Amino acid sequence: MSDILLQIDGKKVEAKPGMTILQAAQSAGIVIPTLCHHEKLESYGACRICTVEVEARGRTNLVAACLYPVEKNLVVTTRSETVDKIRRTILELLLAHAPGAPALQELAREYGAKEARFEKEASFCILCGLCVRYCAEVKKKNAIAFVDQGAKREINFIPEIAAKECWRCKECFPLCPTSYLQAAYFLTEGLAFPPSSASEK
Ligand code: SF4
Ligand code: FES
């Protein structure tokens, strides 16, 4: 199939059919921030920090760049007053959950987000799902899972699987945009399977 021509920030970009706006932008060296995206994982659309403006068939919409497929003649704007405002608000909400997280603070500086705007509800996990999905989709181990719903939703290591698999892997650790994943692992390890017993399994 022939390439699809679209425009991103005024630049003509050729993309393969089936690519997302995020992939097309990345192929052209245009940076769109992400917090729940990983190139080895299915798109998830949880954080919405990748929101961009698209114009197609005379209409302008806000869409998640990591989910939205490229289309012929699409006009994409990755930075505008509206886009920046959305990203700023998202970051302020996330910082209330994970105050001090370096990945969030770096983006907060870029978008002028204020850490103190919303009342802190520090859970330290922003529910991006990178750890859960990486373990399931790439490692095929399912050692981490989401538990509960709504405000109580959180990630948990499954001790029986984690005891056997995680001590020699830990590939998910650097993916976490906050420090919660490592803390959750060491807590599970300390409570459910002391390190010396885990490595013997
Ligand atoms: S522990 Fe980290 S990687 Fe896992 S869902 Fe929470 S923020 Fe994302
Ligand atoms: S990176 Fe697109 S929704 Fe999170």
- Look at residue 57 in the predicted model and tell me its pLDDT: 85
Element containing residue 11 per DSSP (H, E): strand 11-15
- Ligand 1, CB within 6 Å, residue ranges: 125-131, 155, 175-178, 180-181
pLDDT computed for residue 151 by the predictor: 83
Q: Which residues make Cβ contacts (< 8 Å) with residue 77, sequence separation at least 6?
A: 9, 52, 53, 54, 55, 83
Choosing from 123, 181, 186, 188 the residue with most ligand 1 atoms within 8 A of its CB, the one to mutate for a pocket test is 181
173: left (phi over 0), alpha (psi -120 to 50) or beta: alpha
3-state secondary structure of 168: helix
Take residue 167 and report the two structure tokens written for it: 């001590």
The residues pairing with 51 across neighbouring beta strands, listed in sequence order, are 64
Average confidence (pLDDT) per 10 residues, the chain, 201 residues:
93 97 98 98 96 94 98 96 98 94 95 85 92 98 95 93 94 95 93 65 47
Residue 14 Ramachandran class (φ > 0 left, ψ -120 to 50 alpha, else beta): beta
Can you give the pLDDT at residue 89? Answer: 97
